[in-house]
Structure 1
Amino acid sequence: MCDDIPQHIAHLTSVHSRYDTRIFRKLCNSLADAGYAVSLVVADGKGDERCSNGVRIVDAGRSTGRLRRMIEATRRVGARARELNADLYHLHDPELMPLGLALKRRGKRVVFDFHEDVPKQLLSKPYLNPWMLHVISAIFARYEKRAAGKLDAVIGATPIITEKFRGKAKRLANINNFPRLGELESTLPSGEKANEVAYVGGISETRGILPLVRSLERTKSDVRLNLAGKFESSSFEQVLKSSEGWQSVNELGFLDREGVRDLLSRSILGVVTLLPTPAYLDALPVKMFEYMSAGIPVIASDFPLWREIIVGHDCGLCVDPEDPDAIAAAIDALVSDRERAEQMGRNGRRAVHEIFNWSIEERKLLQLYTDILA
């Protein structure tokens, strides 16, 4: 990279928040710290912004509705992206793949970042019939692999997503969405905490929130759930608020990073009991590692990959995410044994410091950019 004129990187998203944890707080921050000029094109209608970390946010304007977002927002993001004339474009949403190919045809360097296994995710969509879902999933699986080979690099947010593109992508990197060291750490001893457990993230049926809330009626430890996040739909919100156990929920809404840190500092444990959908079985949920980073034990879905991490590092318990009784028993086991909970929390934090942290992933990111821009 030239000392006088830093190379310009543009991250593009039509879906994610401008302060998205992976895109803005990790990728863009790391690149700005490394000396790149970084722009982030978003589509939220909140206006352009120059951030204290040096990242320039460029707003393409907001669209309402799924279809309009996919068509109008994608077109506007593309227009703002071309105006930037960046040295490298890093894209984050499936609907931006055609834009990535168009930028590549113009001679630009393009990286595509797969946050999710999109073909598997499509199989869980409720608004199409099962036959149509399988057809669309299969078509997209072929399309994404063919398109990947035309770009400069592909990034996968989990090892399993990354391996799908082995032999297809020119360059391939697994950059996991692990937490930044120290961001969420707390020193409050478990014995000084109230009987509160935490869930942070999207609030939807597939994320296992209904069995979790129902488990509160079955606990023996008079525990309350700190529920932080946005509801996926008003219909599910009504279902959840009328279910047994809701009277034991502290509804907190969306929290910023400081709010999340404060929440985890006062909670005995964190829960991530996603349901066994095709998209989640092989996922690595960032909240699981954030709970570990905060030094609290995790109650997680009993999926093979998650069990390997949670049980392997003795940092929590794995349960059937569809069984409220099993979730309640796990909550009681840790709430009633604060010494065990605190030791599991220390084990999880140690695992994050040694293995599951952003500093390691950052080095892989910077090396990939160096290879592409050399």
Structure 2
Amino acid sequence: MKIISISGSVVPSNVANSIQAMKACHALAQVGHEVTLIVPADLSGAPAGRTWEMLRAQYGLETRFTIEWLPAASRRLFFLAAVRRAKRLKPDLLYAWPLQSAVLGLLLGLPVILEMHDLPSGRVGPLWYRYFRDSKGKKRITVITKALREALNERFGAFLRPADVVLAPNGVELERFANLPSPEDARRLLGLAPTLTVACAGHLYAGRGVETFFELAARLSGAHFLWAGGKPEDVERWRGESSARGLSNVTFTGFINNSQLPLYLAAADVLLMPYARQIAVSSGEGHSAQISSPMKMFEYLAAGRAILASDLPVFREVLNEENAVFCPPENLNMWQGALQSLLDSPVRRGALAQQARQDAQNYSWTARARRILDGFLDD
């Protein structure tokens, strides 16, 4: 099947929405479809010097698909231009993240799947969503959490057919996490301290838990605390804070290629998800953590390490008492106690890790792609 995807994300970029779009398109290509991803570019077109090999390393990709950078003077014009370009390519399916592109695709008679990660926002977002919901044409929505599906139904009313809304949490490329080294060997390969290691991956945006991470490092000086990822300015800030407080057991790596992530996660004895109840996205704007589906959650499962996570209902859609330990986001003393208990108990860590690795098998990107497409063009 010929699939044209449209994303408003910048490619290349190390922000989550860019990585997620690339992973989703990669999975569609892996299951045998001809995929073209259309993304915005400035007036100079594609970023200079960006080869497939560079994108492959940055995003951790194997199966090649086409990327088109489409110049446009504004995001609004990009959404229109991208759909016009998609129509000229004569796809069997338009797979879109922007609501505007999904609606315009329906108006041009294309079968459309809209992937949603958040509630429609702003003055016109809800109008676009209602138009998509009420328009005729071949269409489907995929949402990343049950909480988001329920929030959409509560605010806008349910779709006429339950089959028009598919629940598809984010995923993980299981093959990249096969045969990982032990924590000790991974630390040796990365040149990290040989002591018990507590790790977290991702950006250092507000609400991602860096404050909790930092305070735990100050309280549990016998362990090494590793944060993989983050923008240079954020990393510089927290490195400075670490130096000012005399903490020698904290490492902030800064940005790492997604292809390197499995090894960094393997270096941990415990993986942290210390999210607050409000988190920020790449734009810096806050939104509720009640509908999110962090990609790191699935990567943590696949890494096969003990997970200590904030006790948020949306995380319990995937995590449970058998593959993770939960703490209230606000209670630092409980985090300290739970983490110390895990560090003191290799048997408990091993049991959680084994179950996590087993549960990860349910969340491959390719299985997700098949689930989203299943029966869509057969109706």
- Tell me which interval the TM-score lies in, with the shorter structure as reference length: 0.7 to 0.9
Check 1:149–1:208 CA distance in 2 against 1; reply closer, same or farther (3 A cut).
farther
Deviation at 1:266, TM superposition (A): 1.2
Q: Deviation of residue 352 (structure 1)?
A: 1.8
For 1:15, which of 5, 9, 16 is the aligned residue? 9
User: Is the contact made by 2:271 and 2:308 (CA closer than 8 Å) also made in structure 1?
Assistant: yes
Name the aligned partner's letter for residue 53 of structure 1: T
How far does residue 71 in structure 1 lie from its aligned partner after superposition?
3.9
1:317 to 287, 310, 325: 325
On the 8 A contact 1:289/1:356 being kept in 2, the answer is: yes
Structure 2 residue corresponding to 1:43, chosen from 40, 45, 61: 40
Counting aligned pairs with the same residue, the percent is 18
How big is each residue's C-alpha offset from its partner over 1:275-310, in whole Å with a ceiling of 9 and x where there is no partner? 102521232322122111110011110113434654
Which residue of the partner structure matches residue 127 of structure 1?
A: none
SS at match of 2:172: coil
Q: Deviations over 1:251-270 (max 9, x none)?
A: 22222233101101111121
Aligned twin of 1:123: none
Structure 2 Cα separation of the partners of residues 69 and 323 of structure 1: 44
1:113 paired residue among 107, 112, 115: 115
Q: Could you say if the C-alpha distance between residues 50 and 83 of structure 1 is closer, same or farther in structure 2, counting changes exceeding 3 Å?
A: farther
Name the CA distance, whole Å, in 2 between partners of 1:258 and 1:249. 23
Say whether the 8 Å CA contact 1:302–1:320 is kept in structure 2: yes
Whole-angstrom CA distance in 1 between matches of 2:159 and 2:3: 24
| Aligned CA distance change for structure 1 residues 369 and 254 (closer, same or farther; 3 Å) | farther
In the TM superposition, residue 73 of structure 1 has moved relative to its aligned partner by 4.5
1:148 equivalent in structure 2: 133
Uncovered stretches (5+) of structure 2, i.e. residues with no partner: 54-61, 188-193, 279-286
> Is structure 2 residue 373 aligned with structure 1 residue 363?
no
Q: Residues 78 and 262 (structure 1 numbering): CA distance in 2 closer, same or farther, change over 3 Å?
A: same
Return the structure number with greater relative CO, CA threshold 8 A, min gap 6: 2
SS in 1 for 2:218: coil
Q: Is the 8 A contact 1:18 1:42 kept in 2?
A: no
- 1:309 to 1:235, Cα distance in 2 relative to 1, 3 A: closer
Per-residue Cα deviation, 1:117-161 (whole angstroms, up to 9, x for no partner):
454xxxxxxxxxxxxxxxx47x63454244233261111112222
2:283 corresponds to which residue? none
Whether contact under 8 Å (1:218, 1:325) holds in the other structure is no
Q: Give the superposition deviation at 1:15.
A: 1.4
Whole-Å Cα distance in 2 between the matches of residues 175 and 146 of structure 1? 23
In the superposition, the TM-score normalised over structure 2's length comes to 0.76
Normalising by structure 1, what TM-score?
A: 0.77
- Give yes or no for contact 2:225–2:250 (8 Å, CA) kept in 1: yes
Structure 2 CA distance, aligned partners of 1:111 and 1:153? 5
CA distance in 2, matches of 1:259, 1:50: 17
Question: Is 1:300 paired with 2:309?
Answer: yes
Q: Corresponding residue for 1:210?
A: 211
- Shift in Å, 1:57: 0.8
Q: Out of 168, 172, 182, which is 2:159 matched to?
A: 168
**Residues of 2 paired with 1:347 and 1:322: CA distance?**
27
Q: Does structure 1 conserve the Cα–Cα contact (< 8 Å) formed by 2:114 and 2:141?
A: yes
Whole-angstrom CA distance in 2 between matches of 1:348 and 1:43: 37
In structure 2, the CA distance between the partners of 1:230 and 1:17, relative to structure 1 (3 Å rule), is: farther
Question: Structure 2 matches for 1:1-374, cutoff 5 A?
Answer: 7-17=1-11, 20-25=18-23, 27-43=24-40, 45-46=46-47, 53-61=63-71, 70-71=75-76, 73-74=78-79, 77-78=82-83, 80-92=85-97, 96-119=98-121, 136=122, 140-141=125-126, 143-150=128-135, 152-163=139-150, 164-165=152-153, 167-168=158-159, 171-189=164-182, 194=194, 195-220=196-221, 222-231=222-231, 234=233, 238=237, 241-242=240-241, 244=245, 247-277=248-278, 279-307=288-316, 309-312=318-321, 314-353=322-361, 355-371=362-378
Task: Give distance in 2, aligned partners of 1:349 and 1:228.
Answer: 21
Separation of aligned partners in 1, 2:118 and 2:348: 34
Q: Cα offset for 1:40? A: 0.7
Is the CA contact 1:294–1:349 (under 8 Å) kept in the aligned structure 2?
yes
Evaluate the alpha carbon distance shift between residue 311 and residue 324 of structure 1 in structure 2; reply closer, same or farther with a 3 A threshold: same
The alignment of Structure 1 onto Structure 2 pairs a total of residues equal to 336
Q: CA RMSD of the aligned region, Å?
A: 3.2
Which deviations, in whole Å up to 9, do the C-alpha atoms of 1:72-112 show, x marking residues without a partner? Answer: 654554454344342321111xxx32232222212222221
Classify the secondary structure of the residue corresponding to 1:155.
strand
Contact 2:3 2:92 in 1 (8 A): yes
Q: In structure 2, give the amino acid aligned to 1:167.
A: A
Structure 2 counterpart of 1:22, one-letter code: Q
1:350 is displaced (CA, Å) by 1.3
Conserved 8 A contact 1:148-1:154: no
